[in-house]
């Protein structure tokens, strides 16, 4: 990363149609390269070339490489927000703990099925900006808080339960659908079993269970 870093403000917000198309082409090319080659293969010259745009134009719209990555991350996060918002409607409508689990799991599966390669790269390789990280975290918290409301009627300590449900479903679905170590049981079969587990948890009576030695 050579030459100065005054960070003026070239980020001309695209207003005309032509600019919009250029920006879109750049973002598309950048997302494709990120998904296919990972962060290591992500370089501005390659992005510009793939977008069919000069490197100068790229810098006309993005002040630096990081800004480009941030924009892609933001767009991806926005999609996640939309999907989870949709799932929230389902969850709010759920008339049973089972339906609620199904809606949650389905929402997260949808979330991870959209461009899993890009998802993987964004979630592990790309150095996200603080604001992007905050936005992801806010989404998670929103989901947890929302679920907490829905769980209030079903369990005793809905806050912890909500976090357990969201984190568990998200983490394992991420692993099965995005990391894809392949082999062993199929993601679909595992997802089905995941739902069983989450339902069993919600249905379980309050154990006196902080004692690790307690029996099931």
What are the residues binding a copy of itself (CB under 8 A)?
Answer: 1, 5, 8-9, 38, 40-41, 43, 45-46, 49, 96-99, 101-102, 106, 124-125, 127, 137, 140-141, 144, 159-161, 163-164, 167-168, 171-172, 174-176, 181, 184-185, 189-190, 192-204, 207, 209-210, 212-216
CB of 169 to a copy of itself, least distance (A): 9
Rg (CA), the chain: 21
Residues present in the chain in total: 216
62-74: burial string, b at 16+ Cβ within 10 Å, e else: beebeebbbbbbe
Q: Counting contacts by CB under 7 A, is residue 15 touching DNA?
A: yes
Of residues 40-99, which lie at the interface with DNA (CB under 7 A)? 42-46, 53-57, 59-61, 63-66
C-beta separation of 136 from 78 below 8 A: no
Q: Is 9 in the site for DNA (CB under 7 A)?
A: no
Least separation in angstroms between residue 64's CB and DNA is 3
Which among 32, 18, 101 is positioned nearest to 60, based on CA atoms?
A: 18
Closer to DNA by Cβ: residue 8 or 215? 8
184 interface partner picked from a copy of itself, DNA, none, CB below 5 to 8 A per type: a copy of itself
Those residues whose C-beta lies under 8 Å from the C-beta of residue 58, and which sit 6 or more positions away, are 26, 44, 47, 48, 51, 68
Residue that is written with structure tokens 């959209």 in the block: 114
| 57 touches, from a copy of itself, DNA, none (C-beta below 5 to 8 Å by class) | DNA
- Measured from the Cβ of residue 165, the count of other Cβ atoms closer than 10 Å reads 25
- Confirm or reject binding of residue 124 to DNA (CB under 7 A): no
141 is written with which tokens?
């918290």
What residues make contact with DNA under the rule CB under 7 A? 1-8, 10, 12, 14-16, 18-19, 21-22, 42-46, 53-57, 59-61, 63-66
């Amino acid at each position: 990363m050579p030459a100065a870093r005054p960070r003026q403000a070239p980020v001309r917000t695209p207003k005309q149609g032509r600019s919009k198309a250029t920006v879109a082409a750049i973002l598309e090319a950048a997302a494709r390269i990120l998904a296919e080659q990972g962060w290591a293969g992500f370089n501005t010259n390659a992005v510009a070339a793939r977008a069919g745009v000069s490197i100068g134009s790229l810098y006309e719209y993005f002040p630096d490489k990081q800004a480009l990555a941030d924009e892609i991350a933001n767009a991806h996060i926005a999609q996640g927000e939309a999907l989870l918002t949709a799932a929230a409607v389902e969850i709010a409508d759920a008339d049973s703990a089972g339906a609620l689990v199904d809606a949650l799991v389905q929402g997260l599966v949808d979330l991870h099925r959209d461009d899993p390669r890009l998802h993987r790269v964004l979630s592990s390789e790309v150095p996200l900006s603080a604001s992007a990280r905050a936005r992801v975290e806010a989404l998670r918290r929103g989901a947890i808080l929302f679920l907490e409301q829905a769980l209030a009627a079903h369990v005793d300590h809905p806050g912890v339960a909500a976090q357990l449900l969201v984190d568990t479903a998200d983490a394992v679905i991420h692993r099965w659908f995005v990391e894809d170590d392949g082999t062993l049981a199929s993601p679909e079969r595992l997802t089905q079993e995941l739902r069983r587990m989450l339902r069993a948890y919600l249905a379980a009576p309050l154990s006196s269970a902080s004692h690790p030695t307690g029996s099931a």
